A and B are shown apart, each in its own frame.
Chain A
Amino acid sequence: MILEVNGLLKRFGEVHAVNGVDFHVAAGEAVGLVGESGSGKSTIGMLVTRLLSATAGTIRFDGRDITSLPEAEMRALRARLQIVFQDPWGALNPRMTIGRALEEPLKLHTDLDSRARMARVRELAQRVHLPPATLERYPNELSGGQLQRVSIARALATQPKLIVLDEPTSSLDLSVRAGILKLLDEIRRESGVAILFISHDLETVELVTDRVLVLYLGSVVEQGATRDIFSAPAHPYTQTLLSASLPPDPDARLARLPVIGETPSPIHLPPGCAFASRCPAAIASCRAAKPPATALGEAHTAACIRIAEGANVLTS
């Protein structure tokens, strides 16, 4: 188990950004965190990489409890736990060349001398299919796609066991996205690194991940194998979410479930199920207490008391 998260909670003042989340990532696995705005998915990415500190809960990385690990000790672990951000332009120091940016993790975590480091930097550039000339350039001279490749190369420099990718293709043009996804695919095959893929783009998540967690207002409403979640979503929110996506195929039949209202404010969350206020299948007891996860089959769970009762909720 590379990553184990239990009861993760993050409060920003009155706002419960992450409201008790459990999940794990096994070695070599690709796990997706899916959700809309306010779901807490990006916050989880920050928490897991200790760029934010959790209000409560535990995070275990490679068997070690890193929840409150002193930053000095955490730094050494960062070699194995990396993150790629959504904004390719903002993720690199504008005053550092690409070569130096890629060299930095090697300087920090290895004993390699300057020559060995530069050799490794050239290897990294090659691995992400960037021409060697790129190493002399500054970030403002590169396109979004190229910059994202640099960020990925930087994440790979110290041979991490887990890479968190926070919406890595959302800021990129369509024709460039596929290239990045292909690169990720190659990297996973070659190195067996585990990834935590955070995104609101359902189609991409379906393509890239082995398992998925569906988040709503800081809670996990459903999780399971990607195949299962996308072919037979159980939770009313997952069903609503999937039915609202627009596949790029004019002949695809859309069977959209009605959406009631919009995501409420994460301040003063009601005690029960986070989705109750918008769920067409909600009953009184949904608002009473947060529903526990019901097992639905192999490693597939959904947090819904109607499902627990055996009701076939919202067949679409």
Chain B
Amino acid sequence: MSDAHDGHGGETAGKAVAQLDDHQAPAPAVAVVRADRIENPGFPPERLRVTDLDPKKEKQAERTISLLFFLSIIGSVLAVAAYILFPIEEGDFGTVRINNMLLGVGITLGLLGIGIGAVHWSKALMHGHEEVEERHPTRGSDESRERAVEIFSEANKESGFTRRTLMRNTMIGALIATPIPAIALFRDLAPAEDPVALLKHTMWDTGVRLTRDPSGTPIKASDVTIGSAFHVIPEGLAELESHRLEEKAKAAVLLMRLPVDELNEREDRASWSYDGIVAYSKICTHVGCPVALYEQQTHHLLCPCHQSQFDVANHCEVIFGPAARPLPQLPITVDDEGYLVAQSDFTEPVGPSFWERAL
């Protein structure tokens, strides 16, 4: 290997490392190896650094590096001083900022002093010229490869791994089967209910009042002026002891009032609105973000996450963006006292699509 080249030239960049016997040399395949390729000229003459040439510069570099390390020590001390001298005072955001900044600057000085110093030491003072090391083929030597094959065949002979096939195959079967209980164990990551049934129902029901989010105060139809929009939750949601966010993630509704002549309603849903007041699920049918932006001039709803746009005047159909379905409409009416109430739950699942959605 060593006499194949003198380490200084005669090699093209593409030449294979493996310089074993010819029959083992990997095929260059479609690489072109030209006979009259230009040869590697070998190492250029070494260029010395100023610190190699001038003892004064060398001494100067040494002092600079020591100074950097010394600054680092000062930085670490300053950081501790800042920790003690600039505490956080309750309720004063300015002290948080000062503490953060001074502590950080001290630590930074401590770190950068070491970093710059060490790199400078390495570059300016440590033995300067490059050294050469031989590469060897990654492939194991023939000897060790033969021995490896031998070991495996001995092991095979002694164990009968390929001979006793029944035993081997049942063992493989057993190994495949063992993780199955582990998978089964994961079932109780969530409660026993069927999520599909849960996804298809919300807190809305006949007579449930529409209330403001987050205060929970009911909304009178007369409160909803033309052009206004309300963020709505079902009555009782704010008082829930458990599953408040889970219910809210399904039941959040947007309430808007449009001029009656601008509102196109499907015949079968004509009774779902009240005097131009319509309620739609706030949960985007794309991947479930709240559709929180209402543009009252155009009656468009926009989801801030992925910019799906829904046209409230036309059953909230998707007019742009990645959403696949209109927002589900909540049928509403007013009760005896003039408060807005739901006629029923949503008639379809709210939120993002899932496999069993239409079943």
Do A and B form a real pair?
no
| Chain B residues near A (Cβ < 8 Å) | none
